[in-house]
Chain A
Amino acid sequence: MSDAAKQQPAGRARDYEEQLFETGAGIGIRALYQPEDTGDFDVGRDLGEPGDYPFTRGPYPGMYRERIWTRRFQVGFGSPQETNERIKYLHGQGANGFVITIDLPTSYGFDSDDQIADGEVGVTGVPISTLEDMETLYDGFGPDAVSYALSIRPPVSAVTLAMLASVAERKGVPFDKVIGTQQNDPFYQMSGGPLQTVTQFFPLDGTLRLCVDNIEFISKNMPRLNWMVTNGYNLRETGINAIQDGAFTLGHAFDIFRRARERGLDVDLFPRRASFFLSCSIDFFEEIAKFRAMRRIYARTMREEFGATNPECWRLRFSVQSAGNTLTRQQPQVNIIRASVEAMAAVFGGAQSIHLCSYDEAHGLPTEESSRMALRTQQVIAYESGITKTIDPLGGSYYVETLTNDMEAAIRARLADIGERGGMVACIREGWLEREINAERIKNQKDIDSGRRNLVGVNRFRIPPEEEVPIATHKIRADVWGARRGEYLRQYRAGRDPQAWADAMAHIGRAWKAGENMVPALMNAVKNKVTMGECHEAMRQAQSWSFR
């Protein structure tokens, strides 16, 4: 193929300026918005004040005038020691919030030396197999001084919460001073999609029980620790649209809240520290409208349906990551521009915390250089652009308010549909969610093939491969990391009291069968050197369940 031919869009991708006047989710867009387009929009009822019901203008009164959103650093690779060193370095540079990514074996509750972990130890995050690993992560800091957001889900989050509580005890930090976030989404955390990710290695009912155990333990003991019930980000990354994103995310949170309420937890207490992790995609106004509409639906549902009277329980707070699935491998520096657009939409949408994808993520794991670029992008928006200097600057825009209303109506319609199907958990169990996701994924590819959706560098404005700039990627040393961790765990197990270990394992089984909250039993276990994998094995055995 000649270079000239390569520059032509392939397939049926169009190379002329034809525009579709609709949002990514298919909401029609008019040429001009006039006052009458906002319908029965009522400023007092639908917009309100920032920090007040229904929170359309933002969850806090002062928003970014009082505090710029948190620019979290994502860390976690190799070993707890290397990760802690990196955190110390970044802390010295002024950072105090970190997203700790966890490697895949740990995410499924396996120790680093499990055969299933071959080639995966330390690759996508830090391995945590022992209480000592968690103590290493907190070396030099108390859990009241630095805020770690652990990207982890139940069942594993029950063990990491037990480890965090044990670290606090050993460091003499009272539970009510512990800060940070435990992600605790039972379904969407493992990249959102297939049910297989949440059923293959642990029984689903057990996972749901541990999710509520965590909520109960945190709301009763650690009032400053956030727990994140809904990882809408991973869900959106599967390829669903903004309306589905809003509906499936909120539907899932409300379903978990109902379970917490059934446990007897107080709806005026436990949702205070609930938060959301959401994607911000490339369709600028649609994403802004999505965030505003989600805040409004959440406020109205929590007050009117759940009957919460505490205004803190009406307030949807969320962190954002820019959409990884909008990045291209081709002409990767263009991804910096995409992340900028997405970050600005998140700011206009009122996000509390933002993490931008690095431009090289379609090539491999990000490097220091590309991570720094992602941070600098946010800093330009925060400190140079001036868009933070007034609250909800788009509030009152005929278009933004109309689109917010349209998004709210569309998300509510999907929520009603989910309700008729028995709630989001039932929709997931029955396979309905996976079918919705798969249909949307295939539609996305067809839209790119046909040119219905533009993707710069892929179906439009391409360059020949030889003009692409080479990209350096983070080097993976899975074999070295795995071998080192294997040796560490061999020594850890050799150095423990076998009787205390056996008693702690038996205690897990008894607590499970008695229906107790599992966090105290898991604290006892990790303090007696029961490992992550062994905690899970004991809980599986208590359910008479095995996958091997």
Chain B
Amino acid sequence: MTIHEPIHEPIHEPIHEPIHRPLHRRILLAKMGLDCHDTGIVTVASVLRDAGYEVVYLGLHNFADRVVKTAIEEDADAIGISFLSGQHMTQMRRLIEQMQSEGLRIPVFCGGVIPDDDAEALKAMGVADVMLPGLLSSDVAARVEGLLARGAA
């Protein structure tokens, strides 16, 4: 059996030195369910590494128990999940339920192809931010920084 281990090494070497490394914080990124569109999340992993974060990317086909267990073991400061094929409501509900049952209180954000009304429903469910297509790298980094700051406040 092939198990996709967390990838710690950078997917590529950052081209630019990050302007500031304020946090040295660790972000857990994962795809959930059977969706396998990973362009967005691989790009976000690179953007966040360039912005000075430590990123643990869990790969595809994760379910809530594994994401939460890894977040606890890796002492992650936030969790980010990406969707393209319409699983966002089911999987985020499962993830938040699992976080509650494990007592894990860190910000969770998601992104991808998500209709506007679902994005609102996700926020109402407790998702800290929903990042929709068409963001520049600087926007992504700023929004992650923002949700971590709110989480710490």
CB neighbours (8 Å) of B100 from chain A are none
- Chain B residues lying within 8 Å of A200, measured Cβ to Cβ, are 2, 4, 60-61
B113 and A364 contact, CB distance less than 8 A: yes
Within 8 Å of chain B (Cβ to Cβ): is A142? no
In angstroms, Cα B97 to Cα A87, docked, is: 39
Instruction: Looking at the assembled complex, report how far the CB atom of B113 sits from the nearest CB atom of chain A, in whole angstroms.
Output: 6
Residues of B within 8 A of A (CB): 1-2, 4, 11-12, 15, 33-39, 42-43, 46-47, 59-61, 85-87, 89-91, 94, 113-116, 118, 132-134, 136-139
Interface string of A217-251 (1 = CB under 8 A from B): 00000000000000000000111000000000000
A442 cross-chain contacts in B, Cβ below 8 A: 11-12, 42-43, 46
Give the shortest distance, in Å, between A208 (CB) and chain B (any CB): 16
A363 to B115, alpha carbons, bound, how many Å?
5
Interface extent on A, as a size class? 35 or more
Overall SS of chain B's interface: loop
> Could you show 28 A-B contacts with beta carbons less than 8 Å apart?
A11-B138, A104-B35, A116-B34, A117-B34, A119-B87, A119-B94, A120-B33, A120-B90, A123-B86, A191-B37, A361-B113, A362-B113, A362-B133, A362-B134, A363-B115, A363-B116, A364-B86, A364-B118, A438-B12, A439-B12, A442-B46, A445-B46, A445-B47, A449-B136, A449-B137, A458-B134, A470-B116, A479-B90
By the criterion CB–CB under 8 Å, are B133 and A328 in contact?
yes
- Judged by a CB distance under 8 angstroms, whether A476 is at the interface is yes
Contacts of B46 in A (CB 8 A): 441-442, 445
Residues of chain A touching chain B, judged by Cβ–Cβ distance below 8 Å, are 10-11, 13, 104-105, 107-108, 116-120, 123-124, 190-191, 193-194, 196-197, 199-200, 237-239, 325, 328-330, 361-365, 438-439, 441-442, 444-446, 448-449, 455, 457-459, 470-471, 473, 476, 478-479, 545-547
Q: B134 to A330, Cβ gap below 8 A?
A: yes
**A476 and B86 within 8 A (CB):** yes
Is the CB–CB distance between B86 and A441 below 8 Å?
Answer: no
In-complex Cβ contact of B36 among A190, A438, A455, A457 (8 A): A190
Question: Given A104-B33, A459-B136, A193–B4 Cβ distance below 8 Å?
Answer: no
B33 touching A119, Cβ below 8 Å: yes
B137 contacts A445, CB within 8 Å?
yes
**Complex CA distance for A459 and B138, rounded to whole angstroms:** 12
Whole-angstrom distance between the Cβ of A476 and the nearest chain B Cβ: 5
Which of B34, B59, B91, B136 is within 8 Å of A104, CB to CB?
A: B34
Interchain CB contact (< 8 A) of B86 among A124, A197, A325: A124
Q: Can you name the residue of chain B whose Cβ is closest to the Cβ of A125?
A: B85
The answer to whether A194 touches B137 (Cβ under 8 A) is no
Q: Are A199 and B137 in contact (CB under 8 A)?
A: no
Q: Is the CB of A329 within 8 A of B60?
A: no
Is B34 within 8 A of A105, CB to CB? yes
CB pair B38 A193 closer than 8 Å? yes
Most central of B35, B36, B61 by chain A CB within 10 Å: B36
Q: Is the CB of A546 within 8 A of B36?
A: no
Top 3 A-B residue pairs of the complex, sorted by shortest distance between their CB atoms:
A119-B90, A104-B34, A364-B115
Given contacts A238-B39, A438-B42, contact A471 B137 (CB under 8 A): no
Do A328 and B134 touch (CB < 8 A)? yes
B1 proximity list for chain A (CB < 8 A): 545-547
Contact partner of A364 among B91, B114, B134, B138, CB < 8 A?
Answer: B114
A32 shortest CB reach to chain B, Å: 35
Q: How many angstroms between the C-alpha atoms of A104 and B60 in the bound complex?
A: 13
Cβ–Cβ contact A329 & B133, under 8 A:
yes
B86 near A365 with CB under 8 A, answer yes
Chain B residues within an 8 Å CB radius of A545? 1
A11 to B33, CA, bound (A): 33
Contact B116 A471 (CB under 8 A): yes
Chain B hits for A363, CB < 8 A: 113, 115-116
Structural contact, A473 and B134, CB atoms closer than 8 A: no
Q: Which residue of A lies closest to B138 (CB)?
A: A11
Pairwise interchain contact B87-A441, C-beta atoms closer than 8 A: no
Q: Which residues of B contact A237 (CB under 8 A)?
A: 39
Does B42 lie within 8 Å of A441, measured CB to CB? yes
Asked if A441 meets B43 with Cβ closer than 8 Å, knowing A10-B139, A118-B90, the reply is yes
Partner of A194, one of B36, B87, B116: B36
| Contact residues in B for A119 (Cβ distance below 8 Å) | 33, 87, 89-91, 94
Q: Is B60 touching A194 in the complex (CB atoms < 8 A)?
A: yes
A438 to B40, CA, bound (A): 11
Closest to A546 in B: B1
Closest chain B residue, CB of each to CB of A193: B38
Also in contact, A196 and B61, with CB within 8 A (given A104-B33, A438-B12, A446-B137) = yes
In the complex, what residue of chain A is closest to B59 when comparing beta carbons? A196
Chain A residue numbers with a CB within 8 Å of B113 are 361-364
Please name all residues of chain B whose beta carbon is closer than 8 Å to the beta carbon of A478 when the two chains form the complex. Answer: 86-87, 89-90
- A120 / chain B contacts, CB cutoff of 8 Å: 33-34, 85, 87, 90
CA distance A30 to B133 in the complex (A): 34
Q: Which of B39, B115, B138 contacts A441 (CB 8 A)?
A: B39
Complex contacts, B33 vs chain A, CB 8 Å: 104, 118-120
**Closest A residue to B61 using CB positions:** A200
Say whether, besides A124-B85, A193-B39, A438 and B116 are in contact (CB < 8 Å).
no
Which chain B residues lie closer than 8 Å to A239 at the CB level?
A: 39
